Amino acid sequence: DAMVIQNPRYQVTQFGKPVTLSCSQTLNHNVMYWYQQKSSQAPKLLFHYYDKDFNNEADTPDNFQSRRPNTSFCFLDIRSPGLGDAAMYLCATSRGDPEQFFGPGTRLTVL
Amino acid sequence: AQRVTQPEKLLSVFKGAPVELKCNYSYSGSPELFWYVQYSRQRLQLLLRHISRESIKGFTADLNKGETSFHLKKPFAQEEDSAMYYCALSANSGGSNYKLTFGKGTLLTVNP
């Protein structure tokens, strides 16, 4: 089945220790998104790639970076995680139309 | 800027009862509205979108531009409908660049 895969499903890191979350897709979609979702809150868009073009949201902290080495993979790098960065991180893809396809998410814990 | 409001954090109904999950939005352009659903331990997935005007799993939603609402309705709720429901608005930020703004979600519980 074509799908969006996120690894790992659960990630524990230490305060200030860089961490990378991974997303891959077999849908061959040209757009990939990263969302942060904290408990009882709406998913919040951090940034997205349209093909190789990176689009950062204005309020995304500089601590969050992303890489998209090819169509299939996209990474979320958190350079110095703080306690406030503990959240569910969702990856999504689209064909360049409004409908998005989501991965299962990675739950990040910061100790 | 766009905003999506789901006024009910929790909604509990009995099996067979009608259910309505409320969604209001604010957006200066022409909106495209969606309902996404997340069942327990599953990924967020599209339930329906307003332009398709489909009924999915017995759910319907009508876009009311006058009231800026997109409420989700089902005449007879089933236990398997228990899930978190998110209303989302898609704004075109240029070309084929679409971004979703989500509401905070409503947790629907259908009791036997």
- Please indicate whether, in this complex, the C-beta atoms of B86 and A43 are within 8 angstroms of each other: yes
CA B50 to chain A, closest CA, distance in angstroms equals: 11
Structural domain spans, chain A? 4-105
Residue B11 has pLDDT above 80, yes or no: yes
Summarised one tens digit per residue, pLDDT across range B56-67 is 899 999 889 899
Asked if B93 is an interface residue toward chain A (Cβ–Cβ < 8 A), one would say yes
Contacts of A48 in chain B (CB under 8 A): 97, 99
Contacts made by residues B44-48, CB under 8 angstroms, sequence distance 24+: B44/A43, B44/A90, B44/A92, B44/A102, B44/B86, B45/A102, B46/A99, B46/A100, B46/A101, B47/B72, B47/B85, B48/B72
> Residue B42 and residue A104: Cβ atoms within 8 Å?
yes
Of B45, B93, B103, the CB nearest to A42: B103
Looking at residue A22, its pLDDT comes to 97
What CATH number has the domain spanning A4-105? 2.60.40.10
Q: List A84's β-bridge partners, or say none.
A: none
Say what the pLDDT of residue B93 is.
Answer: 66
- For the residues A49-75, what does the mean pLDDT come to? 95
The mean pLDDT of A76-104, rounded to a whole number, is 94
Contact A99 B96 (CB under 8 A): no
pLDDT of residue A30: 93
CATH code assigned at B20: 2.60.40.10
What is the extent of the structural domain holding B51? 3-111
Q: How many domains does chain B have?
A: 1
Which of residues B55 and B79 earns the better pLDDT score? B79
